[in-house]
């Protein structure tokens, strides 16, 4: 258990990372390092998007599954790693 | 009122006639004397109008005859008609004297006409029933009349019910008669009949209960959801099959207990542990972003300048791996994982005799340069390590205190799975090298270790215990002396490196601290097959050529790297590198390329096919000058090498194209790749050297 905590901590302190959050299967944030309103917004929107993406991938080939989702925008990059029950979202500024 | 006419006329006949005569005369005058005014007439005198004709009596007695005829006074008397026969107008004698005073069209129809018959028929129908009704009614009336005198008081009352009864009876009689008679379905004969019954009063009755609890349920049916359902079914079936096979109830109980424990553990853990996988992926993603350019370089960068540098190449630094915990420990061993090409193991310890502390085993993945995948720590410094070819999760490690241990990466323990101890025959001096061997005949895991105590030991993992067998003792030749009581004393050489032949299983080379290399066999424990006077100082590494079966290489702290043919006692090539050589390694892709690292922080890469005498790449790799490089390893697949130094850092470098040259394609000929080519390549070189030597 401590390992995961450590990993999350490392991710959070990594260069360029703005925030991390853990969202459960219903779109409710469990852990977050950002403020409440932002978290809720991110959680809701990304949850839907991930469901859609996963549905797309699996529709094409049911034996396939979504590993991760990367959304690169002008300002930063949002990375979503879906799990069976959880969603891990990390927002990073990949300073270039 | 009028008196009897006979008497009247009898009396006043004359007067009447006179009256008539007068009347005739007085037609114009118009005054009349009422005939009934007989009584008055006596009192009255006949009144004469003033302008009445005065006639004589004779004239008065004159009788005028008047004849009443039936002639129509209005009928014309002189109708003249034209007669065509005679062609003249003729007077018609007979004139129709009929005068119609009044005419009316009547509605009487003769009985025997169609219409008359029809009507009669209809009337019969109606009158038949009516007649019967009339009969009944008449009977009822008769009854009534009879009853009336009896029940005069209640007459009105009985009237109504009797009439009602009569009506009812009439109706009853009529209704049964109607179906007997043929019903005319003529729309003109339609008669509507309605009756209203007494309506019952309505009342609403309601009952309300508590509504059942409701939840919204929604689901989608996608192809993959169906697939998932099928997969689950399949798993369930397989599980049931397994359960059937394992029929022992004890096993089941154990299984159940384990399940319960698992579930309770899961519920206790804060559900964060389930994110491990995702967290790992995200960490790698984050790192990829940060080291994006490095990753791109690793994959795609090829130094273009190599085209202009004919016989030189460069090493491009990629990632640098370091860990806080291993900061003060030197890298003592490096090994790539045979299965996962991005995973490598780093052993940390210390070469310094005085400063011995703990050791660490770290496994890094190139995908995550910031943190190792696995961390193991030990009390004694790790001096060497090796990964099993077939079981890439088994890592064998040799310690400074002479112990060997096996770590199982699959298990989460930070402690080794198996460990040797003083009882089980550990070495008395640091273990300098360990190497996995093929499984022995009982399919037990097996590895060799070499140590400064002069023993080469074969360890076998028998039923989770390490059993050791001394394979050979490194006796220094010529040192066996006979002592008292016939015991043979001998000085033991210190083994520092060894390598097993790729193809000839039993043959292996051992390098010693004295600078000698012994060719040994696993089967002969007392004698060496061959001895080479290799170096002046301790042999740091020996390595067989991956392609050529005869060639091996050795390096030493005496600043030299030597390449040998094991059949010849003297080396083929000697290279002086100006500094103690820490490690040498052959490249996996070519038989003529190898790399050597020295303590002055430089890495040298040689390609014998390009330049037999000099390194084609000679590059300082580590930043600070006092940083000594201790080990080097080529990646089996990617064109990269990892270099470890004594500060605990591992640097990953990419080989430029010049360092990876393959034999040039000749036009028209197919490029032959594979060991044969490499062997041939090296052979050519060796032959050149040999020729030179023989000449000499």
Chunked into runs of 10 residues, chain B (696 residues) has average pLDDT values of: 45 44 45 50 68 78 83 78 86 78 86 87 80 57 50 47 49 51 68 86 90 88 85 93 72 44 43 77 84 82 77 84 84 89 89 80 88 87 89 88 87 78 78 85 84 85 79 68 64 81 83 86 80 87 85 88 85 86 87 87 85 82 77 88 88 85 52 59 71 56
Mapped onto helix, strand or coil, the DSSP state of residue B192 is: coil
At a CB cut-off of 8 Å and minimum separation 6, what does B645 contact?
Answer: B330, B331, B601, B622, B627, B628, B629, B630, B651
CB distance from B272 to chain A under 8 Å? Answer: yes
Identify all chain B residues contacting A83, using CB atoms and an 8 Å cutoff.
Answer: 274-275, 277-278
pLDDT at A5: 85
pLDDT of residue B258: 41
- The neighbour count for residue B508, using CB atoms within 10 Å, is 25
Q: Do A88 and B278 lie within an 8 Å CB cutoff?
A: yes
In this prediction, residue B672 carries a pLDDT of: 45
Distance CA B24, CA B478 (A): 210
Q: What pLDDT does residue B7 have?
A: 44
Tell if the CB–CB gap between A16 and B290 is shorter than 8 Å: yes
Contacts (Cβ under 8 Å, ≥6 apart) of B546: B502, B586, B588, B591
- B325-340 tens-digit pLDDT: 888 888 888 999 988 8
A31 touches chain B (CB under 8 A): yes
Angstrom distance (rounded) from CA B653 to CA B617: 13
Q: For B94, which DSSP code?
A: -
pTM confidence score:
0.64
Q: What is the ipTM of this complex?
A: 0.84
Q: What is the pLDDT of residue B31?
A: 47
Q: Which residue of B has its CA nearest to A10?
A: B283
Which residue in A55, A79, A82 is closest to B285 by CB distance? A79
Task: Report pLDDT for B34.
Answer: 47
Q: How far apart, in Å, are the Cα atoms of B469 and each of B343, B426, B445, B490? A: 32, 11, 13, 20
- Would an 8 Å CB–CB cutoff place B267 in contact with chain A? no
Give the per-residue pLDDT at B183.
Answer: 65
CA gap B503, B400 in Å, rounded = 31
Q: A55, B224: Cβ pair inside 8 Å?
A: yes
For residue A87, the chain B residues in CB contact (below 8 A) are 278
Consecutive H or E run containing B23: helix B13-25
**Under an 8 A CB cutoff, do A4 and B279 touch?**
yes
B558 with B571: CB under 8 angstroms?
A: no
Mutate to test the interface with B, among A5, A62, A96 (most CBs of B within 10 A): A62
Nearest CB partner across the interface for A77, out of B269, B289, B371: B289
Q: Identify the bridge partners of residue A91 per DSSP, sorted by sequence position.
A: A19, A78
Judge contact between B402 and B451, C-beta under 8 A.
yes
Nearest to B278 by CA among A24, A74, A18, A56: A24
Among partner residues A67, A84, A86, which is closest to B281 by beta-carbon distance? A67
| N-term to C-term CA, chain A | 34
The stretch A60-80 carries a mean pLDDT of 90
Task: Find the CB nearest B279 among A15, A24, A88.
Answer: A88
Say yes or no for a CB contact (<8 Å) between B286 and A31: no
Chain B residues with beta carbon closer than 8 angstroms to that of A8 = 275, 279
C-alpha distance from A62 to closest chain B C-alpha (Å): 5
CB B404, CB B449: distance < 8 Å: yes
Per-residue pLDDT of B426-481, as tens digits, reads 788 888 888 888 877 777 888 888 888 888 888 888 877 777 888 777 776 665 56
Q: B228 and chain A: CB distance < 8 Å anywhere?
A: yes
Give the residue from chain A lying closest to B412, CA to CA.
Answer: A3
Mutation choice for A interface testing from B285, B368, B369 by most A CBs within 10 A? B285
Picking from B47, B43, B36, the residue whose alpha carbon sits closest to that of residue B12 is B36
List CB contacts (< 8 A) between B224 and chain A.
Answer: 55, 58-59, 62
Which residues of chain A lie closer than 8 angstroms to B276, CB-CB? 3-4, 7
Q: Name the closest residue on chain A to residue B220, using Cα atoms.
A: A55
Are B311 and B611 contacting, i.e. CB atoms less than 8 angstroms apart?
A: yes
CA distance, residue B278 to nearest chain A CA (Å): 5
Q: Is the minimum CB–CB distance between B222 and chain A shorter than 8 Å?
A: yes
- What span, in angstroms and rounded, lies between the C-alpha atoms of A27 and A51? 10
Size of interface A-B (CB pairs under 8 A): 102
Question: What pLDDT shows up at residue B32?
Answer: 47
Tell me, what's the pLDDT at B265? 42
Closest C-alpha among B491, B561, B501, B490 to residue B529: B501
């Amino acid at each position: 258990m401590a390992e995961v905590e450590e990993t999350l901590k490392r991710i959070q302190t990594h260069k360029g990372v703005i925030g991390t959050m853990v969202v459960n299967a219903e779109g409710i944030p469990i852990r977050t390092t950002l403020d409440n309103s932002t978290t809720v917004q991110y959680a809701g929107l990304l949850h839907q998007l991930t469901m859609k993406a996963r549905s797309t991938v699996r529709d094409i080939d049911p034996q396939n599954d979504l590993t991760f989702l990367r959304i690169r925008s002008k300002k930063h990059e949002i990375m979503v790693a879906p799990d069976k029950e959880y969603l891990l979202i990390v927002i990073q500024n990949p300073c270039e | 009122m009028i008196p009897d006419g006979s008497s009247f006329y009898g009396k006043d006949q004359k007067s009447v006639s006179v009256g008539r005569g007068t009347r005739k005369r007085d037609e114009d005058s118009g005054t009349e004397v009422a005939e009934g005014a007989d009584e008055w007439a006596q009192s009255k005198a006949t009144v004469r109008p003033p302008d009445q004709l005065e006639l004589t009596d004779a004239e008065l007695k004159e009788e005028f005859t008047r004849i009443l005829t039936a002639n129509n006074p209005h009928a014309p008397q002189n109708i003249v008609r034209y007669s065509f026969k005679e062609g003249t107008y003729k007077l018609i004698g007979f004139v129709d004297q009929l005068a119609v005073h009044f005419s009316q069209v009547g509605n009487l129809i003769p009985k025997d006409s169609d219409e008359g018959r029809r009507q009669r028929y209809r009337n019969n129908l109606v009158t038949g029933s009516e007649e019967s009704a009339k009969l009944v009614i008449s009977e009822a009336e008769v009854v009534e009349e009879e009853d009336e005198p009896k029940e005069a008081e209640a007459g009105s009352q009985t009237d109504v019910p009797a009439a009602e009864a009569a009506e009812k009876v009439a109706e009853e009689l009529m209704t049964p008669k109607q179906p007997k008679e043929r019903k005319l379905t003529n729309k003109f004969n339609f008669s509507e009949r309605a009756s209203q019954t007494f309506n019952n009063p309505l009342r609403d009755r309601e009952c309300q209960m508590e509504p059942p609890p409701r939840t919204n349920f929604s689901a989608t049916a996608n192809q993959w959801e169906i697939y998932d359902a099928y997969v689950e079914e399949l798993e369930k079936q397989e599980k049931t099959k397994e359960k059937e096979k394992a029929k022992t109830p004890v096993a089941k109980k154990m299984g159940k207990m384990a399940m319960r424990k698992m579930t309770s553990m899961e519920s206790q853990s804060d559900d964060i542990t389930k994110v491990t996988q995702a967290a790992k992926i995200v960490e790698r993603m984050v790192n990829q972003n940060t080291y994006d350019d490095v990753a791109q370089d690793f994959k795609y960068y090829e130094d273009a300048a190599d085209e202009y540098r004919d016989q030189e190449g460069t090493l491009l630094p990629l990632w640098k791996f370091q860990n806080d915990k291993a900061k003060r420990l030197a890298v003592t061993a490096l090994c790539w994982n045979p299965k996962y090409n991005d995973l490598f193991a780093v052993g940390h310890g210390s070469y310094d005799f005085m400063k011995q502390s703990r050791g660490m085993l770290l496994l890094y993945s190139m995908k995550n340069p910031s943190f190792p995948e696995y961390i193991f720590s030990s009390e004694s410094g790790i001096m060497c390590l090796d990964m099993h070819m077939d079981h890439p999760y088994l890592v064998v490690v040799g310690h400074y205190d002479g112990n060997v241990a096996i770590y199982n990466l699959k298990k989460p323990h930070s402690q080794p799975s198996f460990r040797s101890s003083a009882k089980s025959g550990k070495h008395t001096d640091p273990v300098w090298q360990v190497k996995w061997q093929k499984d022995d005949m009982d399919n037990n895991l097996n590895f060799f270790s070499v140590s400064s105590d002069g023993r080469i030991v074969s360890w076998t993992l028998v039923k989770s215990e390490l059993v050791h067998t001394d394979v050979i003792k490194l006796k220094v030749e010529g040192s066996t002396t006979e002592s008292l009581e016939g015991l043979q004393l001998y000085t033991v050489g210190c083994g520092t490196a060894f390598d097993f032949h790729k193809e000839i299983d039993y043959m292996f080379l051992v390098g010693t601290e004295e600078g000698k290399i012994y060719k040994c066999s696993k089967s002969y424990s007392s004698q060496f097959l061959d001895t080479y006077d290799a170096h002046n100082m301790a042999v740091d590494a020996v390595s067989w050529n991956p392609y050529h079966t005869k060639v091996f290489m050795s390096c030493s702290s005496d600043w030299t790297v030597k390449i040998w043919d094991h059949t010849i006692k003297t080396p083929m090539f000697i290279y002086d590198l100006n500094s103690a050589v820490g490690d040498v390694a052959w490249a996996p892709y070519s038989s003529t390329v190898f790399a050597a690292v020295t303590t002055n922080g430089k890495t040298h890469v040689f390609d014998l096919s390009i330049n037999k005498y000099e390194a084609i790449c000679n590059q300082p790799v580590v930043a600070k000058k006092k940083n000594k490089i201790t080990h080097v390893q080529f990646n089996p697949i990617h064109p990269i090498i990892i270099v470890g130094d004594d500060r605990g850092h591992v640097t990953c470098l990419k080989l430029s194209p010049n360092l990876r040259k393959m034999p040039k394609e000749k036009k028209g000929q197919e490029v032959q790749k594979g060991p044969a080519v490499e062997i041939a390549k090296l052979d050519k070189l060796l032959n050149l050297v040999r020729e030179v030597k023989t000449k000499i």
